[in-house]
């Protein structure tokens, strides 16, 4: 029986990073994956959707750029080639991860891992022993048992990435990040898209005014908010709308994107403390079982690839590195890569008020920004909102809707992690012209003292 | 005298603002800093604060109206005071009044930190501070006057500040400001990036004892009083303890357990070989061990009471009260029943020291199924512990004292006994079943050397 310092189950952005970092620190690491290296993020999530959304964005730019002097004719969207670009991206990244594992001397075993106890894992006939065990088994799409859920034209985010032809019409059940990104993609390439959402608004982490603007910008997507799907037939999706009336919409395809559930199946024998959202962990990512850690979607704490990565690094640092680290969740940025993008970090105004804080907020239109105006014009939608603690002037949250939002939001994480105040951010030099200047301008508009 | 509040200047480019919403009405009382209205510039929404104290006599603009910056938007004064001739016109006739209100507007307030730092210095100036040292200390958010001086004539110089900062992680800008303004103390390492100290890591400076030791020396009544805000652990404890007594039916029964086995075990552990790691096993550890095993025989004591339901636990997660500088904490030893005496003792020491250092995590302090609290070391015999709801019982452990016992030969013997006080929630457990548990616990403690073999 082979012994390791660390056994990692699951090679997503939590697991493979843990393996890479621990390997780089000279530890003997075993990484077990039942499918592809890279997990959902690389193979069925973040990466393939970004590839497809970029194709959609290029298509739209080609069609909509005449007023900027670029006139195109007979622009076509070729799903097959978009899909093969996507596939090539995935495979290149997968190979990259494989190379990283090799160069950090991580042993990779393919197969279904079965935890025998907190120090032993079985894969097929082989038994492995580890001083520490990291569970990074991720999550899977929830498919609620609505009548008709198992019909062949009903897909989750996994199957939708494999379609061979664009449907005429698509109904998306669930207006969270995944649903909205697919709504943006399909509507951009000419599919008739309807989103049915149970809550009163899409994208619950957004400031309400941002979500409303996003819906407007996603036109021609049709939205049914506060609506509950009651059944799916071969031709139709049946739902009860916000007024309690039954409605039917025809759909060639249906996408279920109502949420994700932790993959706890193979962990039963460990007697883990599993809560409502996933495996219960503390700020050091310890489970109730000594020497067993859990990271990423499995914990249900923050279902984002970069959260999983950071959680993995906290564990590896505390076990083998300089240590003294704790997982902090207050400055984790998020992004929706729809057209337009949205991104945010920290508290929304509502959340801050709910915490009993007295806040100052400022909202700026991006059209006042030079680069934005040059590239998108004065009618395009773009917002920046900053939430500030009224007493200390500490920045509590930054929220963006508009191009490049996902690329500039890391600045917000740095600002919030460093607990900077209005006056501190004013001393930071932002590049000009860049859309990021809206953050600085919003702060100056709120408080002009210098 | 009536004073005007003006629409503040919003940068160089903004010439006017539109009032979106008044937050006050005529007749309302306002103070400096109160938000009086929301206004919109071409870039953002702002909140306009009052720059005067008093009663709102008149609002000069309606909602949706556009107001040039630096123009009065409302008049504040004494109730009933006559408002002078509508000042909305652009007459330059009231420059003096405007001058009055100006020093209170935001833009004229100079950067506050520097002042605070230096005034703080002069108030309880223990040591004189060189200008360079003062500048370095202000930049780092340190009160230079409290440092050990090494300069000539007992002066704090720059190297003293640098020495004091050695090994300390930097403070975030917000933490620095809070440190200077609120007189807090910084730990050496915080919870931010790279151990940066964030404002929430700052702690109160421990209260200095009153400088007047002679009671009533100034003849005043009631004499000096120190008022301390109830917050943090104190506040949580206050709330939980009050809720416990208000919402449950608690009663306490006392008993004494023969402590001979406890004492002889403790003596042997103390004298045992260091490599066994048993020398630090305490009487309290032994009691925790006995409780964890006894609870397995009485699952109804290892329960939570929720009004309509009882949740009975198979596993024993044992809370044990710890006295920390911040107040009472109850770390929970998870799966206490499954731990050996040494494992249980080690885990409790680990949790207790985290608690004392203020590093206990919320997860370390929740999920208990039964609690033990020990005041024996402070000379308490028996007492009435308060239940940690929704648990159904708590065991108070008292000190060991000699009790007279009649032996088989009818002779009196003095045997060491330990006082045990069991408080039970009568909603969940009746007296007799509770007493059975207490009796079993006494028996198990008396024969702990045997129980340990189980």
Residues of A in contact with B195 (CB under 8 A): 324
Q: Is A432 a catalytic residue?
A: yes
Residues A293 and A343 in one domain: no
State residue B91's pLDDT score: 41
Helix (H) / strand (E) element for B180: namely helix B173-182
Looking at chain A, which residue has its C-alpha nearest residue B12?
A: A448
CA distances from B201 to A285, A396, B169 (A): 21, 17, 12
- Note whether residue A149 is domain-resident: no
State residue A296's pLDDT score: 98
| Domains in chain A, number | 3
Euclidean distance between CA atoms A193 and A229, whole angstroms: 16
Helix (H) / strand (E) element for A387: namely strand A383-389
Architecture in CATH for domain B234-451: 2-Layer Sandwich (3.30)
Euclidean distance between CA atoms B441 and B294, whole angstroms: 6
Domain edges within chain B: 3-108, 112-203, 234-451
**What's the full length of chain A, in residues?**
450
Euclidean distance between CA atoms B186 and B352, whole angstroms: 23
Reference B75, options B63, B64, B90, B85; nearest CA is B85
Range of the domain at A186: 154-258
Specify which residues B305 forms β-bridges with: B310
Q: What does the pLDDT average to over A73-92?
A: 96
Its pTM surpasses 0.95: no
- Note whether residue A22 is domain-resident: yes
Residues of B in contact with A442 (CB under 8 A): 43-44
Residues of A in contact with B201 (CB under 8 A): none
> Between β-strands B72-77 and B3-6, what pairing exists: parallel, antiparallel or unpaired?
antiparallel
Euclidean distance between CA atoms B330 and B321, whole angstroms: 4
- Select the residue of B175, B195, B362 nearest A324 (Cβ to Cβ): B195
State residue A205's pLDDT score: 93
Pick the CATH number of B3-108 from 3.90.280.10, 2.40.50.100, 3.30.420.130, 3.40.50.10860: 2.40.50.100
Residues A120 and A158 in one domain: no
Residues A266 and A236 in one domain: no
The reply to whether ipTM tops 0.90 is no
Residues A302 and A247 in one domain: no
Whether A281 and A293 have beta carbons less than 8 Å apart is answered as yes
- Note whether residue A119 is domain-resident: yes
Distance from CA of A449 to the nearest CA of B (A): 6
Residues A65 and A113 in one domain: yes
Give the number of other CB atoms < 10 A from CB of residue B95.
8
Interface test with B, best of A207, A419, A438, A441 (most B CBs within 10 A): A419
Residues A306 and A173 in one domain: no
Q: Is the pLDDT score of A58 beyond 50?
A: yes
State residue B43's pLDDT score: 62
Enumerate residues 6+ apart whose C-beta is below 8 A from B446.
B257, B258, B260, B261
Q: What is the pLDDT of residues A405-439, one digit of tens each?
A: 999 999 999 999 999 999 999 999 999 999 999 99
State residue B290's pLDDT score: 95
Is B3-108's fold the same as B234-451's? no
Residues A254 and A275 in one domain: no
State residue B140's pLDDT score: 73
State residue B220's pLDDT score: 67
CA distances from A410 to A334, A429, B5, B55 (A): 9, 15, 40, 46
Residues A136 and A44 in one domain: yes
Residues A162 and A136 in one domain: no
CB of B45 within 8 Å of any CB in chain A? yes
Inter-chain CB proximity A282 and B175 less than 8 Å: no
- Note whether residue A384 is domain-resident: yes
Residues A347 and A395 in one domain: yes
- Note whether residue A329 is domain-resident: no
- Note whether residue A328 is domain-resident: no
Euclidean distance between CA atoms B36 and B49, whole angstroms: 6
Q: What is the pLDDT of residues A181-221, one digit of tens each?
A: 999 999 999 999 999 999 999 999 999 999 999 999 999 99
Q: Per DSSP, which regions of B342-410 are E strands?
A: 370-374, 393-406
Enumerate residues 6+ apart whose C-beta is below 8 A from A256.
A141, A142, A143, A144, A149, A154, A155, A156, A173, A174
Inter-chain CB proximity B106 and A417 less than 8 Å: no
- Note whether residue A325 is domain-resident: no
- Note whether residue A148 is domain-resident: no
Kindly state the percentage of chain A with pLDDT values over 70: 100
Residues A228 and A347 in one domain: no
State residue B207's pLDDT score: 60
Residues A359 and A315 in one domain: no
DSSP state of B129: B
State the helix-helix crossing angle for B131-140 and B112-123, rounded to 10 degrees: 120
State the helix-helix crossing angle for A46-64 and A177-188, rounded to 10 degrees: 40
CB of B366 within 8 Å of any CB in chain A? no
**What's the full length of chain B, in residues?**
454
Reference A357, options A398, A387, A399; nearest CA is A387
Domain harbouring A391, CATH code: 3.30.390.30
Residues of A in contact with B106 (CB under 8 A): 447, 449
CB of A80 within 8 Å of any CB in chain B? no
Backbone angles phi, psi at A200, to 5 degrees: -80, -10
State residue B113's pLDDT score: 33
State residue B377's pLDDT score: 86
Enumerate residues 6+ apart whose C-beta is below 8 A from B262.
B283, B286, B287, B400, B418, B445, B448
Low-confidence ranges of chain B (pLDDT < 70): 42-44, 84-126, 206-220
- Select the residue of A326, A364, A449 nearest B43 (Cβ to Cβ): A364
State residue B219's pLDDT score: 60
Domain harbouring A245, CATH code: 3.50.50.60
Q: Which stretches within A71-223 are classed as H helix?
A: 79-103, 177-188, 208-217
């Amino acid at each position: 029986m082979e012994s390791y310092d660390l056994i990692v189950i699951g090679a997503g952005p939590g697991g493979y990073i843990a393996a890479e970092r621990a390997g780089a620190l000279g530890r003997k690491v075993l990484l077990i994956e039942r499918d592809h290296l890279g997990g959902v993020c690389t193979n069925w999530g973040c990466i393939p959707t970004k590839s497809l959304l970029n194709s959609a964005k290029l298509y739209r730019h080609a069609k909509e750029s005449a007023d900027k002097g670029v006139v195109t004719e007979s622009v076509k969207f070729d799903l097959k080639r978009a899909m093969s670009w996507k596939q090539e991206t995935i495979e290149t990244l997968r190979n990259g991860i494989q190379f990283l594992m090799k160069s950090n001397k991580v042993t990779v075993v393919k197969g279904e891992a079965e935890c025998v106890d907190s120090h032993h894992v079985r894969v097929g006939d082989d038994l492995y022993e580890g001083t520490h065990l990291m569970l990074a088994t991720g999550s899977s799409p929830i498919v609620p048992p609505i009548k008709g859920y198992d019909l062949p034209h009903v897909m989750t985010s996994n199957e939708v990435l494999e379609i061979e032809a664009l449907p005429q019409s698509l109904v998306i059940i669930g207006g969270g990040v995944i649903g909205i990104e697919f709504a943006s993609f399909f509507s951009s390439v000419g599919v008739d898209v309807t989103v049915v959402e149970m809550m009163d608004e899409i994208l619950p982490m957004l400031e309400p005014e941002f979500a409303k603007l996003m819906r407007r910008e996603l036109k021609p997507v049709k939205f049914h908010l506060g609506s509950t799907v009651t059944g799916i037939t071969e031709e139709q999706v049946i739902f009860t709308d916000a007024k309690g009336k039954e409605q039917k919409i025809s759909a060639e395809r249906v996408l279920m994107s109502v949420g994700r559930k932790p993959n706890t199946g193979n962990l039963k024998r460990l007697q883990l403390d599993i809560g409502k959202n996933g495996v219960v962990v503390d700020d050091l990512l310890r489970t109730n079982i000594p020497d067993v850690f859990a990271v990423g979607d499995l914990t249900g704490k923050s279902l984002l690839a970069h959260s999983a990565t950071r959680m993995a690094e906290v564990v590896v640092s505390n076990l083998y590195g300089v240590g003294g680290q704790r997982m902090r969740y207050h400055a984790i940025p998020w992004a929706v890569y729809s057209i337009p993008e949205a991104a945010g970090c920290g508290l929304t105004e509502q959340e801050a008020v709910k915490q009993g804080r007295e806040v100052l907020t400022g909202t700026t239109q991006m059209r006042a920004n030079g680069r934005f105006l040059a590239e998108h014009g004065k009618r395009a939608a773009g917002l920046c909102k900053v939430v500030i603690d009224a007493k200390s002037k500490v920045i509590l949250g930054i929220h963006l809707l508009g191009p490049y939002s996902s690329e500039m939001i890391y600045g917000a994480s740095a600002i919030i992690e460093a607990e900077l105040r209005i006056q501190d951010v004013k001393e930071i030099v932002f590049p000009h012209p860049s859309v990021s200047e809206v953050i600085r301008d919003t702060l100056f508009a709120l408080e002009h003292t210098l | 005298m009536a004073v005007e509040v003006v629409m503040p200047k919003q940068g160089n480019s903004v010439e006017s603002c539109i009032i979106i919403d008044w937050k006050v009405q005529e007749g309302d009382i306002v103070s400096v800093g109160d938000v009086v209205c929301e206004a919109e510039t071409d870039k953002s929404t702002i909140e306009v604060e009052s720059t005067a104290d008093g009663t709102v006599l008149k609002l000069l603009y309606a909602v949706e109206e556009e107001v040039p910056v630096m123009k009065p938007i409302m008049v504040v004064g004494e109730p009933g005071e006559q408002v002078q001739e509508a000042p909305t016109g652009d007459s330059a006739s009231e420059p003096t009044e405007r001058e009055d209100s100006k020093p209170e507007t935001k833009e004229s307030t100079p950067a506050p930190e520097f002042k605070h730092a230096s005034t703080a210095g002069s108030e309880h100036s223990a040591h004189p501070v060189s200008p360079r040292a003062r500048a370095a200390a202000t930049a780092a958010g340190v009160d230079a006057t409290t440092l050990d001086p090494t300069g000539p004539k007992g002066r704090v110089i720059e190297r003293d500040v640098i020495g004091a900062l050695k090994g300390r992680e930097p403070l975030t800008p917000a933490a620095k400001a809070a440190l200077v303004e609120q007189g807090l103390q910084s730990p050496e390492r915080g919870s931010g990036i790279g151990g940066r100290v964030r404002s929430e890591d700052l702690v109160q400076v421990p209260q200095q004892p009153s400088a007047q030791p002679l009671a009533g020396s100034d003849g005043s009544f009631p004499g000096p009083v120190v008022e301390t805000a109830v917050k943090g652990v104190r506040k949580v404890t206050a709330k939980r303890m009050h809720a416990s007594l208000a919402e449950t039916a608690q009663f306490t029964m006392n008993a004494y357990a023969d402590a001979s086995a406890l004492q002889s075990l403790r003596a042997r552990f103390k004298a045992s070989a260091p490599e066994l790691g048993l020398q630090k096993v305490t009487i309290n550890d032994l009691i925790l061990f006995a409780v964890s095993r006894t609870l397995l025989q009485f699952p109804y004591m290892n329960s939570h009471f929720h009004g309509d339901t009882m949740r009975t636990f198979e596993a024993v997660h044992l809370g044990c009260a710890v006295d920390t500088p911040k107040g009472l904490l109850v770390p929970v030893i998870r799966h206490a029943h499954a731990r050996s005496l040494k494992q249980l003792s080690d885990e409790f020491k680990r949790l207790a020291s985290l608690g004392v250092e203020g590093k206990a995590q919320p997860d370390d302090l929740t999920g208990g199924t039964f609690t033990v609290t020990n005041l024996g070391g402070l000379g308490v015999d028996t007492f009435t512990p308060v239940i940690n709801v929704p648990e159904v019982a708590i065991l108070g452990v008292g000190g060991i004292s000699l009790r007279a016992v009649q032996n088989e030969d009818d002779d009196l013997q003095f045997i060491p006994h330990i006082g045990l006080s069991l408080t039970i929630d009568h909603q969940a457990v009746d007296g007799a079943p509770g007493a059975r548990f207490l009796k079993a616990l006494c028996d198990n403690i008396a024969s702990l050397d045997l129980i340990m073999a189980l």
